[in-house]
Amino acid sequence: MKFSRTNSDEKLIKGCKENSRVHQEQLYRQYFSDCYYMCLRYTQDEDTARLIVNDGFFKVFKNINQYSGSGSLKGWIKRIVFNAMSDYYRKESKHLKMMLLEDDVKVTKATPEASLYYEDIISLVNELSENTRKVFKLYAIDGYNHREIGNLLNISEGNSKWHLHKARKILQEKITLLNKHHRHA
């Protein structure tokens, strides 16, 4: 399903494809905050979050011709920035602290032995039932909202919220079990 984009998004995309620095700066300014706060939820370090977002936007500009127009531009950008974050943690050989908690839960730093690598988290996500997995990935990774997910998967907005809640609950339980196992190993 194709989502309609605003004229400003159309102009920004066109300008970025033409390598216009003015359009690139406008795109950066428009979506920086969303990407920054997404990274900050995972990294808990402002400098690292800025570094990752900047690397992600470099990749956005480099790959802007690959944006097909399906899905939201914001979701496409957030997916690239999220992938830049996982690349950063893999490259630095640090643990990726995935926060699968509800948005209003206060974030606390995990101990190194309680942290999981990106691949471990994705493996756990892939164990979810098909619809629950799809909703979680579309929401948490791709940046879609529940209305957009409902349209994509032909489900209600409420059903999308239910699947996200179910995914978070299952993932939290699995992560808790893995953390207990790692502490006793």
Domain 1-94, second-level architecture: Orthogonal Bundle (1.10)
Assign a CATH topology to domain 98-185: Arc Repressor Mutant, subunit A (1.10.10)
Q: Residues for the chain: how many in total?
A: 185
The pLDDT of residue 110 is 43
Task: Check the CA dihedral 105-106-112-117 and report its sign.
Answer: positive
Secondary structure class of 116 (helix, strand, coil): strand
Whether the pLDDT of residue 119 is over 70: the answer is no
DSSP state of 104: T
The pLDDT of residue 181 is 66
Domain ranges of the chain: 1-94, 98-185
Q: What is the pLDDT of residues 125-140, one digit of tens each?
A: 889 999 998 888 888 7
Secondary structure class of 143 (helix, strand, coil): coil
Averaged pLDDT for residues 111-130: 68
pTM (two decimals): 0.51
Whether the pLDDT of residue 99 is over 70: the answer is no
DSSP state of 126: H
Largest interatomic CA distance in the chain = 56
The pLDDT of residue 6 is 54
Q: Rounded to an integer, what distance in angstroms lies between the CA atom of residue 54 and that of residue 62?
A: 12
DSSP state of 105: S
The pLDDT of residue 5 is 46
**Cross-strand pairs, 116:** 96
Query: Chain-wide mean pLDDT for the chain?
Result: 78
